[in-house]
Chain A
């Protein structure tokens, strides 16, 4: 599935919930089920700055696709990463670079997060795109 289709799927899922408590519950579930990052990648180099909680992201090229793994010490943050990883992982770097991120606004994530968490979200998206740019340069 392409990034756009996955994003639409996420938007539809979020629309099913009646309130933000349910959405939080869903994000917590996603956070708990996020596949664990290899411990050796939880280094200071892989920490995303701008998050109040710690977030580690590792990117790896498998065939021509970029695979992200991540972790956080806060579970809701982990849920947010899980959503982003679902949208962007296992895609070609160029597609990740080109992808728009409107779905984040559509599911209302930003305005329902505290400002520090919303900043963290922006940093995370930026970081995923930076990884994509770095790997795309390698491919070229």
Chain B
């Protein structure tokens, strides 16, 4: 049985006050908070077995290597990847996407086409634009509707034998829309294109099965799902990862180095040059353990309850509009009040202890679509409560009375 007050005990930060008010943390889509199990794992690493991995003969190095590789296997199992070497540790989703984009520079030629969705974060737009500049490939966009849903018919017409890559987020960070990625992947494969799914926003809510999805690349950032910042992963099908050249050169990623020629290490090390974020990788694994112990199904049910409650309460406020009210979405509410700049709303909510995100959420094309400078985004995690939703709603009302 899910008990939110018991869960909250795991998150020390939830006890703190902000501007004299109890913290109501509703910026989970930006980063989630860290449970003490993960914090303890970080402290344990630096207190007991901090060492460089994969090369030391000494005990500490072996312990650290073992834990780090165990974390890789935890991630592999979590996403149901076929092999551990298909999991590449990165610094996060942005790094993962850039790794793939850089690799494709060598596989694309002028006139090839890439397809991106209109719902993307800048991190899933800009690396591909840079790739197009380098290769002469052309970027096409899947349009969206007012509800914040992709227009699938338009997508199907964009696909052709020129299409080499399709990339789309699993869940939109700005609106929370869950995209029909299985359909997107299947259609892309029919024309022989590879698909990268940015799972940064989905990972805290949905347990993706990369084999069932048949996705070619999938990315996750640890800090969105109770792990530390600065670590994440790239899943890639082994055949694709073998095809792509290394992203960065350095130690760890080599087999043999002479000044005449260097041969690269096997997967996953080929893509893991330099000393990685060892502690972060291990803590990433612990964060997955933590969330799996609660259960993603349990989390989904509870978060849906919070989302429904918050949506109903917020919509009762005069002049409030929710952007992207898609039928299938995660616990994210992006909204504005007629006549109020989101920045003003966010500033006043902060003084009331409520943390929300304001602005364009690194998704300017979506803001341009709605012709707004930005939104106020409240994003809920399984440790949030209905009482906190009430604090948000009261805060929004108070801000309205001050600002209008």
- Chain A contact residues, CB within 8 Å of chain B: 19-21, 24-25, 28, 52-54, 73-77, 113-114, 117
CB-based nearest A residue for B348: A24
| Interface assignment of B347: CB less than 8 Å from any CB of chain A | yes
Extra inter-chain contacts (9) besides given A19-B20, A77-B343, CB under 8 Å: A21-B352, A24-B402, A52-B359, A73-B373, A75-B340, A76-B348, A113-B347, A114-B347, A114-B350
B347 touches A76 (CB 8 A): yes
Contact, CB under 8 Å: B359 / A74: no
Give residues of chain B (197-234) contacting chain A, Cβ–Cβ below 8 Å: none
Distance from B19 Cβ to chain A, minimum over Cβ atoms (Å): 7
| Chain B residues positioned under 8 Å from A73 (CB to CB) | 341, 373
Chain B, range 352-379, C-beta contacts under 8 Å to A: 352, 358-359, 373-374
Q: Is the CB of B348 within 8 A of A74?
A: no
Assess whether B107 is interfacial by the CB under 8 Å rule: no
Distance between B166 CB and nearest chain A CB, rounded to angstroms: 32
Q: Are B402 and A52 in contact (CB under 8 A)?
A: no
With A53-B373, A54-B373, A114-B350: A74-B343 Cβ-Cβ less than 8 Å: yes
* B351 is an interface residue with CB less than 8 A from chain A: yes
Give A73 to B372 CA distance when docked, in angstroms: 11
- Interface digits, B382-404 against A, CB 8 Å rule (1 contact, 0 not)? 00000000000000000000110
Min CB–CB distance B246 → chain A (angstroms): 37
B133 at interface, CB cutoff 8 A: no
Report chain A residues within 8 Å CB of B20. Answer: 19
CB-contact partner of B347 in A19, A24, A54, under 8 A: A24
Residue count of chain B within 8 Å CB distance of chain A: 18
Would you list 26 pairs from A and B whose C-beta atoms are within 8 A, ordered by A residue?
A20-B19, A21-B348, A21-B351, A21-B352, A24-B402, A25-B402, A28-B344, A28-B402, A28-B403, A52-B358, A52-B359, A53-B373, A54-B373, A74-B343, A75-B341, A75-B344, A75-B403, A76-B343, A77-B341, A77-B343, A113-B347, A114-B346, A114-B347, A114-B350, A117-B343, A117-B347
Minimal beta-carbon separation of A11 from chain B (angstroms): 21
Closest to A20 in B: B351
Closest residue of A by beta carbon distance from B347? A76
Q: How many A-B residue pairs have CB under 8 A?
A: 44
Distance from B118 Cβ to chain A, minimum over Cβ atoms (Å)? 23
- Measured CB to CB, the closest approach of chain B to A82, in angstroms, equals 14
Q: How far is the CB of A48 from chain B (nearest CB, A)?
A: 14
- CB-defined contacts of B350 to chain A, threshold 8 Å: 114
**Chain A residue nearest in CB terms to B352:** A21
Complex Cα spacing A33 to B344, Å: 16
CB closest residue in chain A, given B350? A114
What are the residues of chain B within 8 A of A24 when measuring CB–CB? 347-348, 351, 402
Chain B: which residue is nearest A75 at the CB level? B344
- Which residues of the other chain, B, contact A76 by a CB distance below 8 angstroms? 343-344, 347-348
Residues of B within 8 A of A117 (CB): 343, 347
Residue of B nearest to A113 (CB): B347
Residues of the A chain whose Cβ atoms lie less than 8 Å from the Cβ of B348: 21, 24, 76
Asked if A74 and B351 make an inter-chain contact with CB atoms under 8 angstroms apart, the answer reads no
Find chain A residues with CB under 8 A from B340 CB. Answer: 75
* Partner among A19, A21, A74, A113 whose Cβ is within 8 Å of the Cβ of B341: A74
Q: Please name the residue on chain A nearest to B340 by beta carbon.
A: A75
Closest chain A residue to B19 by CB distance?
A20
The docked-state distance in angstroms from the alpha carbon of A25 to that of B403 is 8
Return A55 CB to nearest CB of chain B, in Å: 11
Q: Which of B310-366 contact A (CB under 8 A)?
A: 340-341, 343-344, 346-348, 350-352, 358-359
User: A54 to chain B: which residues have CB within 8 Å?
Assistant: 373
Q: A99 to chain B: closest CB distance in Å?
A: 27
CB neighbors of A among B20-73 (8 A): 20
A1 and B20 CA atoms in complex are apart in Å by 38
Answer whether A74 and B344 are a contact pair too, CB < 8 Å, given A21-B351, A53-B373, A54-B373: yes
